[in-house]
Amino acid sequence: MHRHLVYAAFGWLTFAGTMHFFADVMSQHLRGIRTPSAETTLYYGLHSSFALGQVVLGALGLFLARRAPDLLRASPAIIISMTASIAWLVIAVLFIEYWQPKANAALILALMLAVALTGRQ
């Protein structure tokens, strides 16, 4: 069960980060929705770092799940994953006005919590 939850959590993290980047950064940039300003720069910076951070941690988690699955049962990996999940939820709640990133961050936190609880032996 732990192995399936690891793949679900990190796979969803990678997918959600990729979709967030395409929907909130690439789509709006290509359509020219936001006029050039300091606010636009901050908007793109926030959403880019939010989404690409999810993609990087998700890809790293999937790589480790494939190459070293026992490493993801160790306390440091669990602590890093839980801390990142909590940070994404806090950032989404405080700074992102759309509900979809908030829901994705909450789902990622729930999946990481399930991974943490099933990984302990």
Domains of the chain: total:
1
Give tens-digit pLDDT for 23-78.
Answer: 989 998 899 888 889 999 999 999 999 999 999 999 999 999 999 988 888 889 99
Structure tokens at 16: 């959600």
What is the Cα–Cα distance from 105 to 98, expressed in whole angstroms? Answer: 12
Helices (H) and strands (E) in the chain, counts: 5, 0
Segments forming the whole domain that contains residue 37: 2-119
78-115 residue pLDDT tens: 999 999 999 999 999 999 988 999 999 999 999 999 99
Residue 111 near residue 9, CB atoms below 8 Å? yes
pTM of the model: 0.87
> What is the residue type of 97?
E
Tokens of 60: 């790293």
